[in-house]
Structures are given as C-alpha cells and as structure tokens.
Amino acid sequence: MTLLELSHVSQAFFTDRKRTRAMVALHDVSLSIEEGEFVSLLGPSGCGKTVTLSLMAGFLQPTEGQVTFKGHPIAKPDPHRGVVFQEYSLMPWLTVRQNLLFALRSSAKALGHPFEKTSAIRRADEALAQVGLAHAADRRPNTLSGGMRQRVAIARLLAMDSDVFLMDEPFSALDEQTRSELDRSLFELWRRDRKTIVFVTHNISEAVAMSSRIVLFSSSPGRIIDQWRLDEDFDRTPGSPAARALADQIRALLPSTFDSNDELEGATIT
C-alpha cells in the first residue's frame, strides 16, 4: 500500500520582499513511500531532503505538483505522520512519561477522539519499554543524555502509533558511538515492527546500514538521481563487501561532494 506520494513536486522559496525572485529547492520530484519501508533520503546539504520531509509532514505546500497521504492531498500536519527532528522537542518541565501523555492528548484532540488517561499511561509505558527507557519514565529531560532524549522522541511516535515516522537527521548531533547505537536500535525496531520510516541523512554509511531503500538527491536544484532497494539478506555490516560496494556506487554519482568520512558537503537551505 502506498502511504505517501509526491507527484511531480517542485518547491521554490522567494528570495526578495517583492517576490520577484525565487530559489528552487526541489524540481519535478516524484516519489512513493510504501507501507513498511525504511527509506533514507540521502544527499548533500541543500539538496532538498528536509524540504521533502516537510512536504510529507504538511509543514509546507508544494509550489507545483501534489503530495498525498493514503491518496488524499496533505493540507496540514497530522498525528498519523509523526516527526522526529535533530532537536529533541521535549518540554523540560514535564517528566518523560508526561511528555508522551501530552503528545497523546494532543493527538486525540486533533483526531477528534476522546482521551483516556489510563489507556494512555499504558501506551506511554509500553513505548518507553520498547526503546529501553522504562526506568526513566519519571525523570525530566534535562537529566537524560542526548541519546536518551532521542529515544524518548521515538517512544513518543510509538505511543501515538503514527503510521509514518518522518526523521530529519535525528542522530547527527550525537557522538559517533551513541549515534551508531541508536542507528542499530532504530533498525531493529523497524525490522521487528515494520513501521514505515522516512529518514533524512547525509551520511552514506548510515543509509546503507539501515535502509530498505536509499533515494539519492542531487542539488541545484534538488532532484532524485538514483535509488537502490536493499533486500532482507543484504549484508549491512559496516565494512562488508556488499556495504562497501554500494557506498562506492553512491560516491561515484557525486564524486566531488563526498569526503573521506562518508559525509556530504554543500550549502544549507534554511
């Protein structure tokens, strides 16, 4: 089943107050996200990955083309499409469990459903257990490490039971060891529950290690230049012959934009 679809989408941003000039961030992008996929949007900074995610979330409306969720045009943000940002977006005056309950209450209101506190507490605690944070339910965010805070953000989507997880470089600000641990945890979560995930990254190794499909963007303006589907038996182990070969294919398409650390460079679109 197709959950998200971009059909010939272009996105431009005006660069002057008179709205006579514009920067094109995306040009004629068509992309379908199927239920149960883990799709990584990979490309240099400024290629439109975050813009694409924002269109899927409903934060932006396309300049041209159409973006749909389950066949219906996306007009605004919706709890069915949960978002995890690079920043944790947790309310510091609430405990971890209370942060999840606040999200569940807001989601119920947005969907016109009654909020049942007992059921919500159970869902929040189950979600925290899924990400290994059952012991931290009564702690406040400022007592948690960066990696733990991002686990809370993921638990929030699990508790809300969002149909799609939209993740915008959620682990890029963390140290390498914590980032690798969270990458593995998220991949295992996907493999177990088959949640639909769209994951923005500019790290080749991260995309190869986690994805069922990699979509490569090129900038000036942003467009899709290639895609790869990774089978269940694909050896995602960092340094494996299969992982190295795929990473080399990706680098070959954009040889001037990759550095030795598998990172992509470029101008950032804000």
From the list 252, 267, 52, the residue with the least C-alpha distance to 166 is 52
pLDDT tens, residue by residue, 39-89: 999 998 889 999 999 999 999 999 999 999 999 999 999 999 999 987 778
Mean pLDDT within 92-106: 95
Whether 8 and 61 map to the same domain: the answer is: yes
End-to-end CA separation in angstroms for the chain: 33
Q: Are residues 206 and 244 in the same domain?
A: yes
Domain boundary among 113, 138, 162: 162
Q: pTM of the entire structure?
A: 0.88
* Domain identity same for 47 and 101: no
Checking if the pLDDT of 266 tops 50, the result is: no
Look over the chain and give the mean of its residue pLDDT values, rounded to a whole number. Answer: 89
Enumerate residues 6+ apart whose C-beta is below 8 A from 197: 37, 38, 39, 164, 165, 167, 186, 190
Rg of the chain taking only CA atoms, in angstroms: 19
Identify the pLDDT of residue 255.
53
Whether 22 is in a domain gets the answer yes
In this structure, the answer to whether residues 71 and 101 fall within a common structural domain is: no
Is residue 182 a part of any domain in this protein? no
Shared domain check, 199 and 144: no
Note the pLDDT tens digit of each residue in 198-212.
999 989 999 999 999
The answer, yes or no, to whether residue 4 has pLDDT greater than 50, is yes
The answer to whether residues 99 and 150 belong to one domain is: yes
Give the chain's domain count. Answer: 2
pLDDT value at position 249? 93
Which of 214, 191, 200, 187 is closest to 36 using CA atoms?
A: 191
Instruction: State residue 125's pLDDT score.
Output: 96
For residue 265, what pLDDT is reported?
Answer: 34
CATH of the domain at 153: 3.40.50.300
User: Does residue 176 form part of some domain?
Assistant: no
Range of the domain at 109: 81-162
Please give the share of the chain, as a percent, with pLDDT higher than 90.
64
